[in-house]
Chain A
Amino acid sequence: MLEPFVVGIVVFTLASFVGFELITKVPPTLHTPLMSGSNAISGITLVGAIIATGAGSDTLSTVLAFVAVASATINVVGGFLVTDRMLGMFRKPKERIAEDGEGT
């Protein structure tokens, strides 16, 4: 097959198209959870940070890796949790009427 880098470009391009198609379908009402949710996904960089902890053993590398892991984890944990919290607030109309116990 092709060199890994070129394959990476292919994957990147295809994924971008997929992203484009997916996001245009999200209604404006969900744009805030979309931003926090997609932001959490960008925390996938945590995978790289984890690998980086095993890299060098000198102080600089260790500190860099620690900060990288901590930062990425804040992004991931915080992002998914706050998105879940927000989405829990979007109540279905039917649920609401049932809970209020009144018709309109």
Chain B
Amino acid sequence: MSESVRALLYLAAAAAFIVGLKRLGSPRTARSGNTIAAAGMLLAVVVTLVDAEVSWTVLGAGLAVGAAVGALLAIRVQMTAMPQLVAAFNGFGGAASALVAGAEFVEADGLDIPAEILATMVVSVVIGAITFTGSMVAYAKLQGILGGSPATYPGQRAVTGALALGLVGLSVWAGIEGQAAVFWASGGLALVVGVTGVLPIGGADMPVVIALLNSLSGIAAAATGFVITNSALIIGGALVGASGLILTALMTEAMNRSIGNVLFGAFGGGDGGGGPTGGQVRTTSPDDLAIALAYARRVMVVPGYGLAVAQAQHALRELAGELEERGVEVYYGIHPVAGRMPGHMNVLLAEADVPYDRLLDLDDANTMLARTDVVLVVGANDVVNPSARDDASSPIYGMPILEVDRATTVVVIKRSLSPGFAGIDNPLFYREGTLMLFDDAKKALADLDAAIEDV
């Protein structure tokens, strides 16, 4: 195969990525878009194998192991664990990019590497390494292996900052001089920085972190593309890099915090000094609530991370079905950062067979809330906290929220009055018109479903 033909076929693969991503823009075409992108990947791999000098044993072994592990995880992992799975896959991708650049460096073996190639090797190894360890820490935090609260210690910011600066310096030195020791040192330090960077970030900020790491893995792939001069890598990497950056920006906007605050602010963790203030709350029971729900015209459900933790999405669907049979309109208000990953709630609800036209984004939900009879807040807290709108001294002030207090009745299903991720109290619980249903989400929803059947 001539190099020109090869290059054109790589371009075709990249085109498939672009078409695939475009089709990902609508639920109707998204699945076929994913398949098209996958076909592009297959094309790129096949093109690489033709006439190539590869070690078939190493290759075969690597492909077999990778495919088996990847397929197993993809098929078996529950939707509630999707954030950590994406984080883990992302880490593997970053590692691969770093290793490929590293392998190229080893192969060059001290011969004169052109300046720009050496620079991209360093970029690829460093960013790939950060992506790898950062993603693995994110995985551990989401999976509960590491604590979800930000792990801080005295002088933490100074240490993280110093390490990051050191990494930049070392990388520049490696990029200019190209000595093996410096090169590997920068890679090693990058692994450390990945850990120290993500460790202090709290669980509910993980959507931003994963989106950012997603972007970094794309950039690492693109850098590797420069190292081996392959346009499929450069284009694919650029697409993913841009995608991740946009999602990161969307997330930080949705939380009304700067990316700096998310990465370095050690936000949340329950010690923001705002535990329950001990005001009066009005409680309700499934039986009482069932009547209000059954005779409502419109109900909106606001799901949060608590729904995922309680694995209550199916119970919710049952309840919604019961209500819809009685002529109640049921909608779902999805806050952009509900859950632990952008779009996490949507996937959980889709898994439970909720049709996607009932899933409303922030603006649509807020418009509809004024005409909603009952709002069911299930496992969500900060995203419905009116302090973000009314209290200028609140840490979450300015964050766009789902304004559930616009509806006639608000019901909050929660296990207790403990604060959400931001560690602050929620005035929503104490206002008139709000009823609290203290129970596990899954049990509460199942009880409600049963109670409504009796109405």
Contacts and interface: CB of A to CB of B under 8 A. Distances in A.
B433 interface: no
A55 B33 CA distance: 34
B342 A31 contact: yes
Contacts of B89: 36, 39-40, 74-75, 78-79, 82
Interface in A63-96: 64-93, 96
Contacts of B28: 92
Contact of A15 (B30, B238, B250, B346): B238
Nearest to B82: A32
A65 B97 contact: no
B37 to A, nearest CB: 6
Contacts of B218: 38, 41-42
Contacts of B227: 48
24 contacts: A8-B231, A12-B235, A12-B237, A16-B238, A17-B242, A19-B243, A22-B25, A31-B341, A38-B244, A45-B221, A47-B45, A48-B224, A53-B55, A65-B103, A71-B96, A74-B73, A74-B92, A75-B93, A77-B66, A78-B74, A82-B85, A82-B86, A93-B357, A93-B358
B96 A75 contact: yes
Contacts of A18: 18, 238-239, 242
Interface stretch (B57-65, B161-169, B401-409): B57-65
B172 interface: no
A4 interface: yes
B103 A38 contact: no
Interface in A9-64: 11-13, 15-20, 22-57, 60-62, 64
B318 to A, nearest CB: 13
A96 B355 contact: yes
Contacts of B97: 45, 48
Interface of A: 4-5, 8, 11-13, 15-20, 22-57, 60-62, 64-93, 96, 102, 104
Contacts of B54: 50-51, 53-54
B66 A23 contact: no
B37 A37 contact: yes
Contacts of A90: 27, 30-31, 350, 356
Contact of A48 (B82, B100, B342): B100
B303 to A, nearest CB: 13
B352 to A, nearest CB: 9
B44 interface: yes
Nearest to A89: B350
Interface string B224-258: 11111111111111111111101100100000000
Given A48-B228, A96-B353, A54 B55 contact: yes
B63 A47 contact: no
Contacts of A79: 70, 74, 89
Contacts of B21: 19, 22-23, 37-38, 41
B66 A42 contact: no
Chain B: interface size category: 35 or more
Nearest to B83: A32
A1 B55 CA distance: 34
A80 B228 contact: no
Contacts of A34: 24, 243, 247, 342-343
B453 interface: no
Nearest to A78: B70
B48 interface: yes
Given A19-B21, A87-B31, A12 B92 contact: no
Contact of A50 (B59, B86, B341, B350): B59
B350 A23 contact: no
A92 B48 contact: no
B388 to A, nearest CB: 18
A33 B343 contact: yes
Contacts of B235: 11-12, 15
Contacts of B49: 50
Nearest to B93: A75
A41 B40 CA distance: 9
Given A19-B239, A68-B99, A75-B96, A27 B361 contact: yes
Interface stretch (B209-217, B260-268, B283-291, B376-384): B209-217
Contact of A12 (B13, B116, B234, B244): B234
Contacts of B242: 15-20, 23
A2 to B, nearest CB: 13
B119 to A, nearest CB: 10
B20 interface: yes
B343 A87 contact: no
A104 B324 contact: yes
B239 A15 contact: yes
Contacts of B182: none
